[in-house]
């Protein structure tokens, strides 16, 4: 990977603390997912035991770790990265 953009010379290496900030976004994704899974299980499975909630949530989170990891970094970069697209520089 290039250390900077060959066209506009924007530095492509993340700043220190970038991955720590992305962990906060990942935590928010995880909590939102926990709420959605809990509501779905409560209404469609007839309020199962807490072990069903725990088992389903852990299983789904393990399967979705790559997506959570990728999209939390992307969302953090878009929200707080300070990189703006400049069309004249792309020509």
**pLDDT tens digits for 48-75?**
899 999 999 999 999 999 999 889 988 8
Tell me which of 47 and 68 has the higher pLDDT: 68
SS3 88: helix
CB 60 within 8 A of CB 41: no
| Residue 73 in domain | yes
| Residue 55 in domain | yes
Residue 36 has pLDDT above 80, yes or no: yes
Domain of residue 67: give its range. Answer: 19-79
| Residue 91 in domain | no
User: Closest Cα partner for 33 from 58, 16, 9?
Assistant: 58
Residues sharing a CB contact under 8 Å with residue 35, sequence separation 6 or more, in sequence order = none
The number of domains in the chain is: 1
| Residue 8 in domain | no
Residue 90 has pLDDT above 70, yes or no: no
């Amino acid at each position: 990977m290039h250390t900077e953009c060959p066209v506009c010379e924007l530095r492509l290496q993340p700043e220190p603390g970038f991955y720590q900030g992305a962990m906060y976004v990942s935590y928010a994704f995880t909590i939102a997912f926990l709420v959605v899974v809990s509501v779905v299980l409560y209404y469609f499975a007839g309020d199962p035991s807490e072990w069903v909630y725990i088992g389903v949530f852990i299983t789904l989170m393990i399967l979705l770790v790559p997506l959570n990891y990728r999209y939390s970094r992307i969302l953090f970069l878009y929200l707080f990265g300070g990189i703006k697209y400049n069309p004249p520089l792309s020509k």
